[in-house]
Structure 1
Amino acid sequence: MAGWTRGERYSHRGDVPDSPGGSDEQKQRAYEMRAEILELSIAVAGRSYWATVLGGK
């Protein structure tokens, strides 16, 4: 991600340098974690329990 200079984007810390990004291994792990979070979110949201909360609204 590109950095910015103080005042350009509400930075109270001063100038913010460019992000160095991540390694290929870090990017792969982040992709795997996002996929797992999506899978778990679908499993939780699909539970029949949620139909009982607030009268099924």
Structure 2
Amino acid sequence: MAEEGYEERLINEEYKIWKKNTPFLYDMVMTHALEWPSLTVQWLPDVQRYEF
């Protein structure tokens, strides 16, 4: 039980550090909290679809 709480605190602390440093790493960051984890992400604006 104690390890679960420690791991969650560690993840939250790492996230806070990352978020604080994002202006130095990226030109733009957009965050959005989701109700469920997303299984797919579209990184680029163009999608190529191939028909078989």
TM class, shorter-chain normalised? 0.3 to 0.5
TM-score for both structures, normalised by structure 2:
0.44
TM-score for both structures, normalised by structure 1:
0.41
Write 1 or 2 for the structure with the bigger share of helix.
Answer: 1
The structure whose RCO (Cα within 8 Å, separation 6+) is larger is 1
Which one has a bigger Cα radius of gyration? 1
